[in-house]
Chain A
Amino acid sequence: MTAQTVHPATKARELITFAVSGQDFCMDIRPVREIRGWQDVTPLPHAPRDVLGVMNLRGAVVPIIDLSLRLDLGPCRHHPRNVIIIALIEARTIGFLVSSVSNIVTVAPDEIQPMPDMGAPATASLVEGIIPSSGKNLRVLDVAALGAILDPRRSVA
């Protein structure tokens, strides 16, 4: 289940694009299992701020992460269009709350440019690269880094 680790340089990649607090992001579609509407979560005591809680996904306990908070964009504003992207990363099922999901795009690897060095803010580690297109800068999130959000050292904020 580590499909996300290999990106053959020549092969086009399929990315799912979504909006987080008004900004455009995308990520590899292969680990994505499903997209669900928002449902109430059970908060976890002493969890990091961006871990909203856990949700029942057909009998499994799945943690839900507010990507907007994680990306330092402030808490995701409550909206009926908010969805949760359920992804299976390194044998862990994790849900990411985003404002909306827009599209699936196919890009050639050379379209993805490395992130310009911006003094490495905390969120830079999550971004793998950037796709400049028609005035919109689509940032590509690194799936492995998304999975690492739940690393034990972060479990107590």
Chain B
Amino acid sequence: MATLDDIRQLFFAECEDQLEQLTDGLATLEALPPGETPDPETINTMFRAVHSIKGGAASFALDAITRYAHAFESVLDEVRTGTLPIDAGLTAAFYVAADYLSELVAMGMGGGTPETAALAERIAAIEACSAARAPHAPPAEDDLPSGGLDMLAGFTPLALDFDFGPPEVPGAAADGFVVTFRPTAALFQNGHEPTCLFRELEPLGTLEVEALLDEGVDWDRAAPGIGWRLTLRTGCDESQIREIFEFAEPFAELSIAPLATQEGDEPKPLAALPAPIGTPDCAPDPAPPDPAPPEPSPPEPSPEAERAKAPKATVRVDLELVDDLINMVGELVITQSVMTQSIADHGLAGSTQLSAVLEELRGITRHIQEGVMAIRAQSVKPLFQRMGRIVRETAQIAGKTVRLATVGEDTEVDRNVIERLVDPLTHILRNAIDHGLEDAAGRLAADKDPVGTVTLTAAHRSGRVVIEVSDDGAGVDRAKVLASAIRKGLVPANATPGPAEIDRLLFTPGFSTAASVTSLSGRGVGMDVVNSEIKRLGGRVTIASTPGRGATISISLPLTLAVLDGMVVEVAGQTMVVPISAIVETILPEPSQLSVMAPGMPMLTVRGRAIPVIDLAGIFGFARPVDSRPDGVLMLVETDDGDCCALAIDRIVDQRQVVIKSLESNYGHVPFISAATILGDGRIALILDLEETLHHKASPSAPAVPQPLEVPA
């Protein structure tokens, strides 16, 4: 049995989904051309999302969330019923409300509560959006947008919102309510007693209870054929009534209508009511009481609604479970390679049958691994939505109008990676808005749309995930950047770096161009932190800037943090792994291809191109064993920045998939090494950090590199 704490966890997990749906809906509204009526289902989905949050929050006594969601929901309901026309201003207000709601949820998760005054202010702000604060303002029929009636019909609670009820009439501070309550068998199976509920209602005001005995109903011993109409004359509001029915609601049809509006169109709420949706374990009630609706509108979800919701069947799994599984698969990969190796050691590798089986095992292992990795993968959408909030906040503080466009939201990335992308992306976006985009006047002067655009893109590209932040601002002010870097002593005063090198200076530790430290950026740590954080994820950051047109910062990341395709090589008697993605080719150089440009700076000439040679043993400070005779293989590697160099290694051992093991958890950062792995023989091999190695080549202290073709001293 789930504990209350588990359910609470589940509630917050679901809140995230609901908030995502809400933001989705807002994005749809935002994209709508002015004057166009939104799809009713969009509004419905948003309403349902807020409503579910409210319902859940109420059961956990999260008062702030409940109150705010209630206010928000009321306004959304007006939009839904067509009382309140949707426009850009309202969408913006909804964004603010959605952001605040997620703040409240986050606060609630941490056990905190907002200041009462702040909450009241926020509630007042959202309530101010309401068109009709006055009660009893039912919209005139022709005020309804064209889809007004469909909206009600299409509104079918598909989600198992556990207290989802019929539409509420906003601002119904009537002198009473009519509550129609029709239980299903599940209500009784779950031990609810309707009379107890009625007794709870009683203290709220004067209660009249009238039993509705269905005529012409097929009597079925398994299904109750009774309903009640409760007329409550009270000064309290609807939520208090709803609270009483909270736990009974999933098992019954419940409609609460203000007393005044009930008279004219009494059967309507019933007709619009969908069949109750029970929780899965109590649903199989063969014959729920047929409310015999006057209109034969089937309570089945309309196909449109179904498409809009199109819920992917998903399973919520404890992350630890998945991590354990991944670890086990990692061990499987290791064991498989141990097996391959020991079979080879026993001279059995020649057997065709055995090698076929081994090959198959390798294939299956790989499939399992990919499958498990896919479980961990998560779309970047929640991340992008979170960034949307950052953009809105930043734009507001910076006093700029910014539009955020997102591309490739469905791109899936390892969950760990997503979590660790939050901070770097926040920094980049803040920088893009604060420094990249010009203010409205500047944009107009440059003949641009006064509204700046920041685009977040995610895509899979050649086995990596690439996330880009581009703005259509002024681009990097290279003169200013260079001047600032010289002033700070980051580059010598007489240096003449190329444009790309200047752009790259932005990532240098201690660099900042902001004249003053703003609350947004300019502390001179941001981009440097971005760079190191992304590096830690095994990724690279690059920047491309076009003066006057904007800048693009690309983050390229490995698909997963757990496995890597590597080339196993030997360097000075040590076995190492070079990431295969970077290897362009391997060369057994002719002596004529090698030359020494300067002491300790050998060069390799390949097809007319001179490429610096880095001796790995040299930079690791490993002495070659006296008896070693390296094959003198050169491995041409290229980084994402286009940096190219040839690595001198002793020999190539194998090419295989390796499981990445962190060195940092028990030790710390090792220069030129990104991580470790465990080889077939159980020994640890280090994985080369190419980026760091290649950047090292600029350092004059690089040890002398022996000629690869000669017997080393």
A residues with CB within 8 A of B: 40-47, 51, 54-56, 59-63, 92-94, 150-152, 155-156
Contacts and interface: CB of A to CB of B under 8 A. Distances in A.
A62 to B, nearest CB: 6
B676 A54 contact: yes
A42 B685 contact: yes
B123 interface: no
B683 A60 contact: no
Contact of B669 (A41, A59, A63, A155): A155
Contacts of B671: 45-46, 156
22 contacts: A42-B575, A42-B683, A42-B684, A42-B685, A43-B574, A45-B671, A46-B620, A54-B663, A54-B684, A55-B684, A59-B327, A60-B665, A61-B663, A61-B667, A61-B678, A62-B666, A63-B666, A150-B666, A150-B667, A150-B668, A155-B667, A155-B668
Which A-B residue pairs are the 4 nearest by beta carbons? A45-B620, A42-B684, A63-B667, A155-B668
Contacts of B334: 59
A46 B685 contact: no
A53 to B, nearest CB: 8
A19 B671 CA distance: 33
A47 B686 CA distance: 13
B675 to A, nearest CB: 9
Nearest to B662: A61
Contact of A46 (B621, B666, B682, B684): B621
B670 to A, nearest CB: 5
B676 A61 contact: yes
Given A59-B327, A59-B334, A59-B661, A152 B669 contact: yes
A54 B687 CA distance: 13
Contacts of A41: 684
A140 B479 CA distance: 61
B326 to A, nearest CB: 12
B331 A45 contact: no
B219 interface: no
Interface string B648-688: 00000000000001110111111111001010001111100
A1 B663 CA distance: 20
Nearest to A154: B668
Given A42-B676, A45-B620, A155 B670 contact: yes
A52 to B, nearest CB: 12
B683 A152 contact: no
Contact of B683 (A44, A47, A56, A59): A56
A147 B504 CA distance: 38
A93 B664 CA distance: 11
Given A42-B676, A150-B668, A59 B331 contact: yes
B60 interface: no
A39 to B, nearest CB: 9
A45 B672 contact: yes
A56 B670 contact: no
B576 to A, nearest CB: 9
B56 to A, nearest CB: 35
B188 interface: no
A62 B334 CA distance: 17
A94 B663 CA distance: 12
Nearest to B571: A45
B330 interface: yes
B566 to A, nearest CB: 15
B682 A56 contact: yes
Contacts of B663: 44, 54, 61
Given A54-B667, A59-B661, 8 more contacts: A41-B684, A42-B575, A45-B621, A51-B667, A61-B662, A61-B667, A150-B666, A152-B669
A12 B462 CA distance: 61
Contacts of B574: 42-43
A63 B661 CA distance: 13
Contacts of A55: 684
Most buried by A among B665, B668, B683, B686: B668
Interface string B237-251: 000000000000000
A48 to B, nearest CB: 11
Nearest to A43: B574
A94 B666 CA distance: 7
A46 to B, nearest CB: 5
Contact of A92 (B621, B622, B665, B686): B665
Interface in B298-337: 327, 330-331, 334
Most buried by A among B327, B330, B684: B684
A155 B685 CA distance: 19
Given A60-B661, A61-B666, A155-B668, A43 B684 contact: no
Nearest to A45: B620
Contacts of A63: 666-667
B647 to A, nearest CB: 14
Contacts of A61: 661-663, 665-667, 676, 678, 684
Contacts of A92: 665-667
Nearest to B670: A44
Nearest to B678: A56
B673 A45 contact: yes
Contacts of B672: 45-46
Contacts of A62: 666
A55 B622 CA distance: 18
B683 A40 contact: yes
Contacts of B668: 150-152, 155
Most buried by B among A45, A46, A155: A45
Most buried by A among B621, B667, B686: B667
Contacts of B684: 41-42, 54-56, 61
A81 B673 CA distance: 32
B691 to A, nearest CB: 16
Interface string B682-707: 11111000000000000000000000
